[in-house]
A and B are shown apart, each in its own frame.
Chain A
Amino acid sequence: EAGVAQSPRYKIIEKRQSVAFWCNPISGHATLYWYQQILGQGPKLLIQFQNNGVVDDSQLPKDRFSAERLKGVDSTLKIQPAKLEDSAVYLCASSPGAVPDTQYFGPGTRLTVL
């Protein structure tokens, strides 16, 4: 079974630029999560989708971050404009959709904002 795929793996941008990350969850998984992991910290949930609807986006900085999950499969996370403090690893995870559920994590995208 293929795991959670993310791209790109690394991205370097300058502040005030825009950036987008892509995630392809495990086939058939209804729930998709985006986490932000700042160096030296544990991952923090940014947004949770159930199929193509948002379940929880309470910790998403909506003035600059946006996410969508079209057709309930792939998802993109966008930052516009980026700030220095957005430098982090962005992890995508998916789960089958039960409560409670086991989340499977992708390799992450490491973003550096200069």
Chain B
Amino acid sequence: KQEVTQIPAALSVPEGENLVLNCSFTDSAIYNLQWFRQDPGKGLTSLLLIQSSQREQTSGRLNASLDKSSGRSTLYIAASQPGDSATYLCAVQTGANNLFFGTGTRLTVIP
């Protein structure tokens, strides 16, 4: 059974810092990996989707990498801002269109 782990569980950084969130998964037979953002009381917003054949995706200040063989992904956030404060969830998608989620990293960016 696919298991997804995210480290750290919580992270607090001063504004302007670059930071890295980590995600690992146990079964490399995936179609893609997604990073989501979740604000309190809100649903999930997809940030980046990396297909299994890709190594990375970039969107603005966000860069996500995927090493499928080792079962790892990282989300890099450059020049963090208070508005980046949220919970970040990693999810892998299998052939049945099932999304397996990690438990998330709660990020706080301090002004």
Q: Which residues of A contact B (CB under 8 A)?
A: 4, 31, 33, 40-45, 48, 55-56, 91, 93, 95, 99-108, 110
Contacts and interface: CB of A to CB of B under 8 A. Distances in A.
A77 to B, nearest CB: 15
Interface of B: 4, 31-32, 36, 41-46, 49, 89, 91, 93, 95-99, 101-104
B98 A42 contact: no
Given A42-B101, A101-B97, 4 more contacts: A4-B43, A103-B97, A106-B43, A107-B41
Contacts of B49: 102
A64 to B, nearest CB: 22
Contacts of A4: 43
A31 to B, nearest CB: 7
A45 B103 CA distance: 14
A102 B49 CA distance: 9
Nearest to B90: A42
B101 A95 contact: no
A56 B103 contact: no
A95 to B, nearest CB: 7
B5 to A, nearest CB: 10
Nearest to B95: A99
A100 B4 contact: no
